[in-house]
Amino acid sequence: MPEPSVFSQIISGEIEVPRVYEDDLCIVIRDRSPQAPTHLLIIPRKPLANLSEANGDDKPLLGHLMWVAAELGRKLGLEGYRLVVNNGRSAGQTVFHLHIHLLAQREMREQDLAAH
């Protein structure tokens, strides 16, 4: 069995990190290496390694993660933001627990990528 990801350890409380938001399906934390003034990570409690691992039963969870992103955008008064999901090592994924990057408060360019 693979080692638990750092996100699994954060979710379990083994590693303490301040949470921006949490509910029964996900948590949201600030990225420790932000690529923008606002750089949040929306992390499902379910330990999916990446988006490709999701199946039909995960549709409500995936929709919820997008809703959380929109809700955070509204609550933080963000005019615009970018959502990024890296799927696999070749796409820049370094933590193999599905998560969405929410980046805001800087001009975004097409070539900007968020790793993790």
pLDDT tens for each residue of 94-115: 999 999 999 998 766 654 554 4
Q: Which of 39, 97, 99, 101 is catalytic?
A: 99
Residue with tokens 């001009």: 107
Structural domain harbouring 53:
6-104
Answer yes or no: is 99 within a domain: yes
Backbone angles phi, psi at 58, to 5 degrees: -90, 0
- Cα 45 to Cα 54: distance, rounded to the nearest angstrom: 13
Domain of residue 21, CATH code: 3.30.428.10
45-78 burial, b for 16+ CB within 10 Å, e for fewer? Answer: eebbbbbeebeeebeebbebbeebbeebbeeeee
Number of domains comprising the chain: 1
pTM: 0.90
101 is catalytic: no
pLDDT tens digits, 33-61? 999 999 999 999 999 999 999 999 999 99
